[in-house]
Amino acid sequence: MKQEISGYTRLAGVIANPIKHSLSPMIHNYGYQQTGVDAVYLAFEVERQDFLQTLETVKLFNMLGVNISMPYKKQAYDACDTVSEVAALIGNVNTIVQKKGQLIGCNTDGLGFIESLKEKDVSIEGKSLMILGAGGAARAIICQCALLGTKEINVFKRKNETYKQQEIELQEIARKTQAMIVLHDFNDDGKRNQVIEKSDIIVNATQLGMGKDDRMPFDDFSKVTKQHVLVDLIYHPLETRWLKKANDKGIKTINGLGMLVHQGALAFNLMTQKDLPVKSLLQDIEQLMEKKKEN
């Protein structure tokens, strides 16, 4: 369906810096076309000092809402009038719905992750999850999984200046959700192998392997078996070296494209109350990324 822009057309977008590389405009505009929503979605690269003013514009322009990416997720959380349960637990938002001048904050990253696993017949309920990295994406996944019944979550991060604080924050999330969450040293090879043995799902939530970086979060696969599912949040490339190594051993793997599309679809639904056709979008994006790789 071809969209005609008129005086009735609503505006939505993503606010971040940098943001020009983002696939969000493609995801949402595809959704508007497929579902007949009269709206356009743009990327807004905004300087830190202009961020709060930009949120005021979201209200003034009666926008459907905005997605928020780095580095503004926490600032956006503070500026919202109300926030969802998971956003409150994470302490940041990636989606703001605008209704009658009220900003309603949500975070769809963790649920997007869970939906992308569901699509591949993998459930997180009652499972033991191992997460490599403890940044924004990991935290969203940890909080959502803790709320939705994951049995145990083991997180690995480097023992640097943020380790102690992260440990305190993860303990607080564990206390609030009654989930078992433990932080370990990323470079403790023995502990890593012990945890691999008792895990069902192993997630790379670091940047290791992104783009031209061919490093792996770990390369000792001696304890990784066909009982495991390996998930890499990276979607560029679609198959990182880490995932390739697992694929070569016949281990089930999932890349980050599903999470990207599902978190977008959930945000789309919050802003429009319509369901984005995820399956056809996934195919189109994969083709687009393959084409980009060839060029």
Tokens of 179: 């989930």
> What is the number of the residue whose Cβ is closest to ligand NAP?
135
Quick one: which of 37, 218, 53 has its CA closest to 131? 218
Query: Does residue 205 interact with ligand NAP by CB under 6 A?
Result: yes
User: How far is residue 46 from each of residues 16, 22, 42, 68, measured CA to CA in Å?
Assistant: 6, 14, 12, 11
Span near ligand NAP by CB under 6 A; candidates 29-37, 154-162, 223-231, 283-291:
154-162
180, amino acid identity: M
Which of 98, 128, 253, 263 is the binder for ligand NAP (CB under 6 A)? 263
Which of 14, 145, 208, 251 is the binder for ligand NAP (CB under 6 A)? 208
Distance CA 165, CA 294 (A): 43
Strand bridging mode 102-106 / 252-254: unpaired
Smallest distance, ligand NAP to C-beta of residue 169, A: 12
Query: Does residue 129 interact with ligand NAP by CB under 6 A?
Result: no
Strand bridging mode 65-68 / 95-99: antiparallel
Smallest distance, ligand NAP to C-beta of residue 204, A: 8
Beta bridge partners of 232: 204
Distance CA 13, CA 42 (A): 5
How many Å is the maximal CA-CA distance in the chain? 62
Pick the closer one to ligand NAP by CB: 138 or 230: 138
Q: Residues 73, 99, 244, 291: which is the catalytic one? A: 73
Pick the closer one to ligand NAP by CB: 98 or 116: 116
Asked if 73 is an active-site residue, the reply is: yes
CB 85 within 8 A of CB 67: no
Q: Residues forming the annotated binding site?
A: 22-24, 69, 85, 94, 109, 133-137, 233, 235, 256, 263
Pick the closer one to ligand NAP by CB: 103 or 233: 233
Residue 197: phi and psi, rounded to 5, are -60, -35
Distance CA 57, CA 217 (A): 41
Distance CA 288, CA 193 (A): 37
Query: Does residue 114 interact with ligand NAP by CB under 6 A?
Result: no
Smallest distance, ligand NAP to C-beta of residue 234, A: 5
Task: Return the CA Rg of the chain.
Answer: 19
CB 111 within 8 A of CB 86: yes
Which of 233, 246, 271, 285 is the binder for ligand NAP (CB under 6 A)? 233
Smallest distance, ligand NAP to C-beta of residue 90, A: 11
Q: Residues forming the annotated binding site for NADP(+)?
A: 85, 133-137, 233, 256
Count residues near ligand NAP (CB under 6 A). Answer: 24
Q: Which sequence positions are flagged as catalytic?
A: 73
Chain residues that interact with ligand NAP, rule: CB under 6 A: 109, 133-138, 157-158, 160, 162, 186, 205-208, 210, 233-235, 256, 259-260, 263
